[in-house]
Amino acid sequence: MTGEADPRAEDAARPRLWASLREAIRGTDRDLTSIPIERAAFLLAVPTVLEMSMESLLTVVDVFFASRLGPNAVATLGLTESMLAPVYALAMGLSAGATAIVARRTGEKDPDGAAIATVHALGIAIAAAAVLGAVSAPFAPRLLGWMGASPEVVEVGSSYAAVMFGGSVTIFLLFVVNAIFRAAGDAATAMRSLWLANALNMVLAPCLIFGIGPAPRMGVVGAAIAMTIARGIGVAYQMSVLLRGRRRLAVLARHFVAQVPLLREIARISTPAALQVLVETASWLGLVRIVAMYGSAALAGYTIAMRAAVFALLPSWGFASAAATLVGQNLGAGRPDRASRSVWKLARYNVTFLGPVGLVFALVPGAVVGLFTDDPATAGPAVDCLRIVAAGFVAFAYGMVAMQAFNGAGDTRTPMLVNLVSFWFFKIPLAWVLARVAGLGPRGVFLAITAGYVLQSVTAAVLFRRGRWRAARVGGGAEASERLAPPEGE
């Protein structure tokens, strides 16, 4: 019988697997710093991957329907997404700061400290979104023009961009609150909020774009309105869970207290994290500007290919987000070696997940692009872009986990510097040289994207192995929560 599987062991393993899967999707109350690493990673990664799958579907749905309106509509989505770079950067930076503090407090078994940090992060998110939306929305047509949009795209897309900027508070809160839930170990609630938002968007988008049923035909602006409404309802669900106090993280009335040192700590961690994301996302502005030189069809093809790539990459961010949580919680529990092992295990899981997807995209990109467009002028650059970018998926898998592990430790400065070197000192200049000097056109931009992310991944992995992140300190814990005097019986 040597070398043969024991049928009884296989039969016993199946119920355990399904039980773990049910627990991951429903939500778990287990201490993630004390159970086996494989189980902790599974309980976090499964709902987080499903959550990110919904986020990726949220963006792909709009491109799918907008592509029926022509390349100008698709170009509008691509340019607006690039212009939203500061919004996404600040939201993700604040998410990183909140993740580091809430995960650390959770690992220290300090629920009051985690709740107070949540309140402060939400206050910063609302204030930042209000300022950005008020400043950006009125200037949407001018911003599109600065991005190199043709007069036709400006005419079609100004209202779309204005609605997206005006509704940026939903982007902020959806990002930040879900990051907080994951940091506390409640990845299932974060997953459900994205499921809700995505289901609503899938219904609202076609109705508002094409005028189905009683809804008016609004064209591409209908996609922005549908997205904003769907995200807003997802945020309402998040808030109801937080304030009901029935999950791992409960925000009660006594947690609404101002702690200036905690505000400074969130700002200290979030600022490099925001710059980290801004450096990356703003680099896309440079790439879009170069691609736009080759016309709306090239820009539309680039937009479709990158949305398809993001559709695959966002679920794999689930492993990276799980790594950030496990690093923060294990450092809070005084177990840095366990934190390191968790990261490398999740990186291997991510390669196993993303590698086959990249292979399919690289071998049959035409089948993927065909789901979005049948315009030969758009499909050509889209196929080229998807094939080249997919070739770097395995490197991306390691890099994104290592980068988020730094953030989970509270060391947001290191990944910021890695992004600065990889994207602004390397990717953008390389894209210009390959596209304009070497005469490769849009293909030169696509090659530079893959090269930039490979450099980022290798650099992040090497720096993580050096281990300096273990010494990162995250304040705002006991010094904040000890000031609370909970009423007797609460």
Convert the pLDDT of each residue in 143-173 to its tens digit.
Answer: 888 877 778 788 878 888 899 989 989 989 9
Residue-wise pLDDT tens digits, 6-56: 544 444 445 677 888 888 888 888 899 999 998 998 999 899 888 887 776
- 174 neighbors 125 (Cβ within 8 angstroms): no
Q: Hey, what amino acid is at 29? A: D
State the pLDDT at residue 405.
Answer: 95
Does residue 62 surpass a pLDDT of 80? no
Q: Is the pLDDT of residue 375 over 70?
A: yes
Q: Are 210 and 239 in contact (CB under 8 A)?
A: no
What is the rounded CA–CA span in Å between residue 15 and residue 8? 12
The one-letter code for the residue type at 187 is A
Q: What is the pLDDT of residue 145?
A: 81
What was the pLDDT predicted at 229?
95
Q: Tell me, what's the pLDDT at 59?
A: 67
Q: What angle, 0 to 180 degrees and rounded to 10, lies between the N-to-C axes of helices 151-166 and 71-83? A: 50
- The larger pLDDT score, comparing residue 312 to residue 237, is at 237
Write down the pLDDT at residue 488: 38
Residue 192 pLDDT greater than 90, yes or no: yes
Please report how the helices 37-66 and 7-26 are oriented relative to each other, as an axis angle in degrees rounded to 10.
60
Residue 78's pLDDT is: 77
Per-residue confidence (pLDDT) for residue 277, from 0 to 100: 83
∠ CA 48-317-272, rounded to 5°: 115
Residue 162: partners with Cβ closer than 8 Å, 6 or more residues away: 137, 138, 140
pLDDT > 90: percent of the chain = 49
**What is the pLDDT at residue 299?**
86
**pLDDT of 56:** 67
Gap between the Cα atoms of 32 and 106, Å rounded: 10
For 102, the token pair is 């809430």
376 CB neighbour count, 10 Å cutoff: 8
pLDDT of residue 15: 61
Q: What is the pLDDT of residue 490?
A: 36
Q: Measured between alpha carbons, how far is 222 from 205 in angstroms, rounded to an integer?
A: 6
**pLDDT for res 12:** 45
The DSSP call for residue 35 is S
What are the residue boundaries of the structural domains of the chain, listed by start?
34-481
Q: Is the pLDDT of residue 421 over 70?
A: yes
- Mean pLDDT value across the chain: 86
* pLDDT at res. 81: 77
Query: 53-62, 110-119, 326-335, 443-452: lowest mean pLDDT where?
Result: 53-62
- Provide the H-helix boundaries in 27-84: 37-66, 71-83
* Contact between 249 and 102 (Cβ < 8 Å): yes
Whether residue 60 contacts residue 308, with contact meaning beta carbons closer than 8 Å, is answered with yes
* Nearby residues of 247 by Cβ (< 8 Å), 6 or more positions away: 27, 181, 186, 189, 241
Quick one: pLDDT at residue 2?
46
Where does the pLDDT of residue 347 fall: very low under 50, low under 70, confident under 90, or very high at 90 and above?
Answer: very high
pLDDT in tens, 87-145: 888 898 999 999 999 999 999 999 999 999 999 999 999 998 889 888 888 888 888 88
State the pLDDT at residue 178: 94
Sign (positive/negative) of CA torsion 406, 39, 316, 240? Answer: negative
Q: What's the confidence (pLDDT) of residue 423?
A: 94
Average confidence (pLDDT) over 222-230: 92
- Count the neighbouring beta carbons within 10 Å of the beta carbon of residue 135: 11
Dig out the tokens for 82 from the structure: 């690039």
Residue 394 to residue 351: CA distance in whole angstroms: 6
pLDDT at 489 over 70: no
Collect all residues with Cβ–Cβ distance below 8 Å to 287 and sequence separation of at least 6: 427, 428, 431, 445, 448, 449
For residues 186 and 247, the answer to whether their CB atoms sit within 8 Å is: yes
Phi first, then psi: give them for residue 70, nearest 5 degrees. 110, 170
Report the percentage of the chain scoring pLDDT > 70: 93
* DSSP label at residue 486: P
| Range 374-402 average pLDDT | 90
